[in-house]
Amino acid sequence: MEKRIFTYPQAIALLEEVRAITRFHSDRMESVRSQSPARPGTRRHHKVNEWCNRIIEEWAAKVSALGALPKGLWTVDFDSGEGFYYCWVLDEPMLGFVHDYAEGFSGRRPLRKEGEHAPEDDRDLPPGDGPAT
């Protein structure tokens, strides 16, 4: 899919679908791992790794098809088109973080309040001053 730009409300609107896709694939991977234990270096271990990689690739393709950006495992960014991403990780209750393009996940910080998204405005916030959950 072509690169998509999201306003905060558009990203929020897509979050439930992204969450469902991500939860499904995360649960599938856990099931494969728990039902197929294998010692490292064995043929079975190699096969389990192949299955898990395929699950991750399927997840990434589905998230990408929606216009969002799959990042680290079960992490999804929504491009604002303004130099930063809205950032969500599986099991977070809402879309409450942003990070600059250049900083990546390590520069992730909470939104000041719901819908306020300019990352440069968030730099002086003490931890925990993000939106209420």
What are 88-121's pLDDT values in tens digits?
999 999 999 999 999 989 999 998 765 555 545 4
d(CA 62, CA 24): 11
What are 3-28's pLDDT values in tens digits?
799 999 999 999 999 999 999 999 99
Please compute, for residue 100, the number of CA atoms within 13 A of its CA located in the half-sphere on the CB side.
8
At residue 44, the pLDDT reads 83
Residue 68 CA, distance from chain mean position: 9
Two tokens at 71? Answer: 């990042």
112 phi/psi in degrees, rounded to 5: -70, -45
Answer whether 0.85 is exceeded by the pTM: no
